[in-house]
Each structure stands twice: as C-alpha cells, then as structure tokens.
Structure 1
Amino acid sequence: MSIYPVLWAVDHAPVRDAEERAILTALVIKGDFDGMNCFRSYGTLAGIARVDAKTVGRRCREMEKRGILRRQTEHLSHAWLRIPEKQRPVPWEVMIPAEWFGPAQLADINDQRASMGRPPLTPENRPSLAEAPPKKTRADKGSKRPKKADQQVDDPGTDSPWVGIDLTGAEACDPGTGSPHPGDYQSGPQGLEVPQPSKSPSESPSEELAPSARSAGDARRASTGSGARAARGGSAASGKRASSRKKSRLTADGARAVAVVEGAVPPSLLELLSGRTVPHTWRVSVLRELDRSGRTPKQLADRVARRWVRHRYQSKLLSGQGLDNPYAVLNALLAAGECPDAGCEDEFLIDTGAECRSCEGRKAQRGRGAVPTQRSGGRAWWECRTCRNPKLERREPKPEDGVCQDCNDEAALALAGLEARLKTTTTEDVND
C-alpha cells in the first residue's frame, strides 16, 4: 500500500457520493503503489462501506464506465493468482491520472514500475478524468410540504387524563407537577405534588393529589429508572470487579514462587516494559504454568533464562535490532513447549537430561536435526550444542566443543557489549 493512491481516492477522485468514495478508498488501501492489483470481494467492500454487496457491484461498474476503474488483465499479483479460481474477485486498476503526481513522485513510481516490468505512467495510459456527474435531485425539491386537512389545532396528541375536565385558576395554567415550599426557611421541601385525577374510583382524594406526605427520599426510592441502573451498574458491577480482583490476588506461597521466576527475567527486557516490571497477568500465567506442568519455580526460572539466550533475544538487543514486542517475548519465555511429552523441557527430559525422542522425530519430519539418508544424499550433518540447529559437515566442520560459529559470534558480541557497558559504568564512577 502507498499513501498516494489513498490521498487521491479520499480528496481528489471524481466520485459521485460518499458510497463511491468509501468503496474506492477500501479498494486502493489493499492495492499497489501505482493503483494496480486492487482486489477485494464485494462482501468485504460492502462491510467497509456499510452498503449491500449488490450496491458495491453496481457502483464499481458505474465507476468503470466513467474511467475511474479498469479491469486488470496484465501484471497480476501472486497473491491474486494463489486464490482459487472460483473465488477470485475482480482485479481493478484505479486510473489515477499521471498529471496528478508531481514530477519527482512520477519519476519514482516509474522507476519502481520499470523494476517490476511494467510500462511507465504517461498521460496516454493514465489520462485525466472528467468531473463526477451531478446527483439526482428530489422530485419534490423546492415545493412546500402540504398541510394535513384533518389536522386539529386543539388536538392534545395523547390520551391525557385531563381531557374533559374543567380546571380553573392556577390549575388550568399548569396541570403538571408542583413542588410546594414551606413558609419558613428552616423547613425542608415537602416533596412533589402531582395533581392528576385518579383513574380508579376507589382511591381517596389524598392519594389522587400526589404524595405530598411522602418525603423526597421516598420518592427517589420509588423510582424505577435510576434505581434499576444503580442495581445493574453500581454496587452489583463493583461487586463483580471486586470479586475478580480477589480471585486474581496472589497468595503468600504464590507470590514467593512468582518472585523466583520473575527474578530470571533479564534486566534488559524489563527496561522495555511499562513501569520496568512484568504485568500482573504474566504473574498469574506463571502460577497457571506451575500448576499445569508440575514444574518447580526454579525449573521455570531456568526455562526463562535459557530461552532468552537460545532464542537470540539478547543478541538482537546487542546488535541494535531491538525487539518489536517485548510483551510477546515475555510470554514466549514462559509459554509451554510444543512437545506432547509432559516431561520434555525444550527438547530435553526434565528428569534425566536426555534428548526427547518425540522432539527428534518431529525435527526429522520438519527437515531439522538429523536428516534422513535418502534426503541427505550421504552428506554428514551435526547439531550445534547451543542453538540445536543442524550444520553441514562439508560447509562447517564440527568443532571440538560442538558450538557453531554463529553461536560463537553471538557470544563474542555479547561479551563486547558487556565490556563496553562496564567501561561506561567505571568512567561514570570516576567522574563522580
């Protein structure tokens, strides 16, 4: 995806309305830098533009007639060719005019097209586009809305209990509720008066004329609105949150076990985490892994420290590559292995230290580890003692210590980084 087709579709494309703009933008987002290979299914486009799939097809054909889209038959992408033939969507080429690009942008795009075997963009193969046709106006635009002949001015609109009752004085002016105030400033409000007539003849006059004897607190308790909301989202919700926190709280024994495993997390990884500490969810995952695998906290801590070196995370930091997602690395250091054997710990049995036969079989099936004779052609292979990767004897002879050259280079790089860090620390101490 390039930003130029998206900018053109959003701000400069001669579309008719918002539906066409949404469909066109959704197309170019998944296309190439020059507007080619824009293919998405009508169902996907309909979900993005919030229209029907048939509307998407009709709008695409309309834009094709106006020259905004063109069906692409050459230079199709490999991603489109990998789709089953019966499921392939229409590959569109968005006809962004060549004159829309600046000279430097057009030269850069043509260089990229030349490297891919595509012809350059010119005003001939990417001509300018006509303005969008005007939208159809409503047939009744400009005409006044007709008044209903049977509309009555005195119609109250609802079945009010006040219809047919004669009121005089202040009651006729304001038939709603009233809030009487006491004569002195020391007394509080007396509640609300609802001067509505009773629908039931058995009610007494005092019940008809509102709960003046009720306090304002009683009126609030009788409400079904805020009280129901408070019951759903107030104390009940807080009770759920409190219970969830209580469930995830670590016990004293659990906290001690987690502290052992957390101590194996490298300081360089903690520097990349928020607050320079592991999240609480990771501590809960430690307890779950201890319960699931039956490992001791010391064994789980050894797993974290071993994978930090074996998976070459430390080497990436020392070489300047960095880690894309430190939280994903933190989870990878703790996660269970792929081997179905419960006693296997990273291709070795936790009790005896011998190599796991199940892992050896899986590595052979994936083409790793010991290569079968019929596939190796009689070539000699050996496995590095540190990274467990297979090495060809003809290309890299096996050393006496059984460690490959890549692992030695990483160790040297880590040692150089440690020496530089120690020198920096010593210099700062001397200056202080």
Structure 2
Amino acid sequence: MSLLPILWALKSAPVVDAQERAILVALAESAWSDGTDAFPSKKTIAEIAVVDWKTVQRRLRTLTERRLIAQGNQKAAAYIPEHFRPTVYDLLIPYSWYPDIEQVNAERKGRGKAPLTAEGRPDLAPAPPKKRRADKGKPRPKKDLAEADAGGGVYKTPGDNDPQTGQEGGLQDPGVGSTSPPGGVYESQRGGLEDPQPSPANPPRDTPRPSFPPQAANEEEGGTDGTRAADAEEEAPKAQQQTPNPGVSLLLAIGAKKPELLLTGKTLKDQGLTVAGMLLSGWTEQHLWQVIAGRPLPNPVKTSVGGVIAGRLRDAMAAPPPSSIPPQGGSPFQQADESTPAPASWKVKQATVASGAHAECVGDDGMCGRPVVDGTPFCLRCTNQPANAPF
C-alpha cells in the first residue's frame, strides 16, 4: 500500500540472508506506511519470494523472534472467511528510520490510531552472523588409490621397483612405460573391455547396399528398392479419391442452378452418398432433380437447407423408384416436366398447398418437412404415430 515499508525491507532491514529479505519485502508490499496490517497468505509470500511455503513459515517465526515483525490487529482481515484468513503482521520499522514521521503519524491519525513514538518503535538489533558450513576451511579427504583405479582413467603400476619392468611404483599414463598393450583399448589385470572385432582403418567406399543389386546403382534416381512400385501403389488410392461422387456432382449442379439449395462440407458429403445410393437403386438424375429442387424451400426454414433436402430424399425413398426413362429432349439436369411421375405423398402436398394450408410438417421439432394433411400442420406419419415413435 505504501513504498516506505518496501524501501526499508530492501535496504535497511537487518536480515540474515536473501530468503529473509524476500519474505520481508513480500510482507511490506501489502503494509501501510507505518508497517501495519500486512496479511498476505503464505502461498502468496512463497510465490513472491520463490521459496517453499514451509520455508515461509519457518522464516516468519525467526523474524518474529528477532522483533523485525510482530502479530498485528487481526481484525484487519476479518472480512476474509475464517478458514482462508491469514495472520496479520506489523513490520516494526524503527521510529528513527522514517524521513518524515509527521506525515506517517498524520496518516495513522486519519485511520484512528495513535502516533508512532521512539519508545514504541525502538531501533532494531543488527542481524546475527550468518551460519557457516561445518566443513568450511577443512581440506577435502584424498581419494584412495584403489578407488581412483576403479574409477578408470588412472593406471597403477605393479609396485615399487618392480623387478619385471624396472619402473618405480606410482601413477602414470597407461600408454607410456607400462605393461599395458598399446592402443586406445587395453585390458587391465582385473579385467576390462576389449574390442572383439576391430574395424579396418580404411573401410571400402564402393560397397553396394544389400537392399538392391549393384547394377541398380546406374539407374535413374528413384528407380531402386521398389520405390516406383510403391509410388504407383500410393497413387492408386489417390486417383480413387479424386473420382467424383455422382451424388455430390448432382447436388453441386443443383446448387449451381439454385444457390439457395447449395450444400457444402460434411452435409454435401453425407447427402451425396444418399443420392448416389438412390441412383444405383434405379432413380434417374431427372427424378432426383425434381425431388430436391421441384419445390421451393419453406418460408421460413425452421431447420437448415441440408435438413430440408434430407427430408425430401427420405420421403422419396419411401416409394419405389419411378421409371428410368428420361424425358424427350433437354439437358439431363433440366427439371422434369409435368409428365414426370411423382410419389403419392407429393399429391397430398400439392392439394394442401392449393388449399392454403401449411406447406411442410412441423413435427419432430420442425425437422420432419413431410407433406401435411389438409387443415393441420402435421403429416400423416406425425398425425397417426406418437411423438416418440421411431423413424
């Protein structure tokens, strides 16, 4: 709340080490200018000081014993729930440290507190000396020669004035004046590592790979190891994937003629599979064009264009496929004329439209879309079956 406690904690507080200073700064960050009413949680102090919360707890106890801090008025944190309420601390900043004690006392008077005095905030004792390590200044114990030999990198000669080698005992390079064999790998008296099959100094460079015969090296790049056959196998499914779905092609053609019926994405793929299946079962493109685009969209569209087209295809599949004889003349994508046979349900639809009733069924939460019965907003199915009947 004030910069004065932070400056005291950073520069003048008699702390022992960096952990105490960081914890004291975390407390000062939330204190008033007189150092009172600091109550951050231990977790918050640990995050600011980058220490463990147990370290915070231990250091707060130490700072309290040395009278750098003390427990303050716990009512300052009374608004926090009791099971979350932290301890309120006061930073005991000395009276003599403040550069403008009148301003601090004026602030305390505004909060209904008595002014600070030299007796109430005496000077603090200097920080105790930092504890030294118990082994500081003591020489490190020398490693035993046997341990050094076991660690590798140091070779021990057989002994002092060995009669076989004439060398004096001690430590020396295993490759100079010792009984070890020359080279980078040697076997010690206790056993060691030895290369069972040393590699030649200059291996042949023109050794052919075992994955293809030598004569294949002269072929053009990419023609060995069956890569051309593999490429052909990979291209086959790609070519199949690029083959257009006739159902998707028909839906795209309808969408090009009538943009309000254009489908995209997963809806186009799903309905394209349905249209392709109907083409295989005997439906012609002219009839499917009439099924999908022969009627205008309902106004308003209560579901989606994909839902309306799906309902129309579902109604058409309820009847057997009509005659596959295309109309005389015209484009295969031209809309069917009046001579094109239509399912029986369409006749009910046409009759209801002529009578001024609803155009499509509003059952199934507006997803039905079937022709309605005269005088009702529902189709024959939704009128005669319960609401939870399966499709």
Which band: TM-score by shorter chain? 0.3 to 0.5
Which structure has the highest helix share of the two?
A: 1
Task: Find the structure with the greater CA-based Rg.
Answer: 2
Q: TM-score, normalised by structure 1?
A: 0.37
